[in-house]
Amino acid sequence: MTKLLEGYRVLDLSQVVMGPVATQILAEFGAEVIKVEPPSGDTSRHIGPMKNPGMGYIFLHANRGKRSVVLDLKDADGLAALFKLAETADVLVSNTRAEAMDRLGLSYARLREANPRIVYVNLLGFGNEGPRAGDPAYEDLIQSLTAVPSLLMRAGADEPMFVPLAFNDRACGLACANAVLASLLARHRTGEGQHIILPMFETMAASVLADHMGGATFEPPIGPMGYQRILTDLRRPYRTQDGYVSMVLYTDKHWRAFVRIAGEEAWFAEDSRLHNLTARSTHASEIYVRVVEIMHGRSSEQWLTALHEADIPAAVVHTLESLVEDPQLAAMKVVRTSTHPSEGVLRTLEPALRFDGQAAEPLCGAPRLGEHTQEVLREAGVDEDRIGRIVSGR
């Protein structure tokens, strides 16, 4: 496939998940991504399991296709080298707090002097205005602040809990990649770079509220907040005679087909709460009590066969171990096997995107810490004496 972003250079100063996910997406589209790391490396390098120190699995899955350069940005040589790299960069992504970037001498104003075309991204926990401006943020804090633990309690959890995914980090990584692409398109028209500020809390709060504003959408409110259909404690995989099945009854067509294969036409005819989406959403908790009872009457295989024949969305309930072996993932080559120079045989995760029917070429493996320092700095024109001091740590 043609590399859509071939010729674009990205400086990735970010760590852990959000920023690295964004820049790996850009690498998947063909951009050259230079990962600038401190001497200790990206924090996620040290999250196990791992075969070798500094090559933790989370790092391996978020930093493929990048070259690693180690620079101490508190050192004059390291800072000078970064500015040399920035002269020819199209994008710089950082999730270091803005005040810390300013103290390092890496503000947008300074970088723009070196390169007016640069797209400069600050990934922040919170927006740069308001009482939380400048505060640190982590996945669990953002889940708490965006009401996720309390929503899970409303949906039936015994106590507040976190979703066991870094979904805020990954969603904001996607949002960052979108913002970068939009800015590059704008630069194509204007010739000027952009300063992007993407705050995690505000981005994800808007996402949660878009589902759950409910009656508070209107002024004055015309009902409670919360999307009742997805907050019922019965919205979960259905227990069958021998396991669990996931099923979505959403449209009128789904419901008519379901009551037919379940032999429950009389229930549908007599209960007006089933007749349209508005009524079903309003009375979700009462309705799904009966669905739970019905689903317990057959085996998982019997239900999956009948539901698929009736064109009702249904699926097995995967474990992590069965998910990685899913035949759809295999058909789309999402989970692939590759060989890493230092880590041996790995399972890597590739995007399922197709452009003109073609998949992107698989990316090379994530880099070892500082693996490309000399190579990249020489390409940028940094003088050999400075490279020597940087590499030796003097």
Quick one: pLDDT at residue 111? 96
Supply the pLDDT for residue 215. Answer: 95
Residues 285 and 345 in one domain: no
CA separation, residue 196 to residues 10, 94, 158, 185, 379 (Å): 14, 11, 40, 14, 27
User: Does residue 3 form part of some domain?
Assistant: no
**Residue that is last in its domain, among 267, 282, 316:** 316
Residues 293 and 202 in one domain: no
Give me 180's structure tokens. 């970068």
Verify that 182 and 265 share a domain, yes or no.
no
Question: Who's near 108: CB < 8 A, 6+ residues apart?
Answer: 120, 122, 195
DSSP state of 336: E
Task: Give the pLDDT band of residue 149 (cuts 50, 70, 90).
Answer: very high
pLDDT of residue 284: 86
Distance between first and last Cα of the chain: 44
Examine the domain organization and report whether 348 and 310 are in the same domain: no
Taking the C-alpha atoms of residue 22 and residue 218, their distance in angstroms, rounded to an integer, is 35
* 265/383 same-domain check: no
- Please answer whether residues 139 and 169 qualify as being in contact, where contact means their C-beta atoms are separated by less than 8 angstroms: yes
Residue that is written with structure tokens 């996931």 in the block: 246
Q: What is the DSSP letter of 355?
A: B
**CA–CA dist 19, 122 (Å, integer):** 9
Q: What's the average model confidence in pLDDT over 312-323? A: 97
Question: Does 83 fall in a domain?
Answer: yes
- Co-location of 71 and 170 in the same domain: yes
Q: Based on the fold, state whether residues 116 and 264 are members of the same structural domain.
A: no
Domain final residue pick, 257, 285, 316: 316
The domain tally of the chain equals: 2
Q: Is residue 327 part of a domain?
A: no
CATH number (domain holding residue 268): 3.30.1540.10
Domain span at residue 95?
Answer: 9-206+334-392
The confidence score (pLDDT) of residue 61 equals 97
Give the count of beta carbons closer than 10 Å to the beta carbon of residue 222: 10
Identify the three-state secondary structure at position 337: strand
> Given this model, what pLDDT does residue 361 score?
84
- pLDDT digits 0-9 by tens, 191-216: 999 999 999 999 999 999 999 999 99
Beta strand residue intervals within 193-327, DSSP E: 194-199, 238-239, 244-247, 314-316
Lowest mean pLDDT across 224-233, 331-340, 365-374: 224-233
Using pLDDT thresholds of 50, 70 and 90, give the confidence band for residue 360: confident
For residue 130, the model assigns a pLDDT of 94
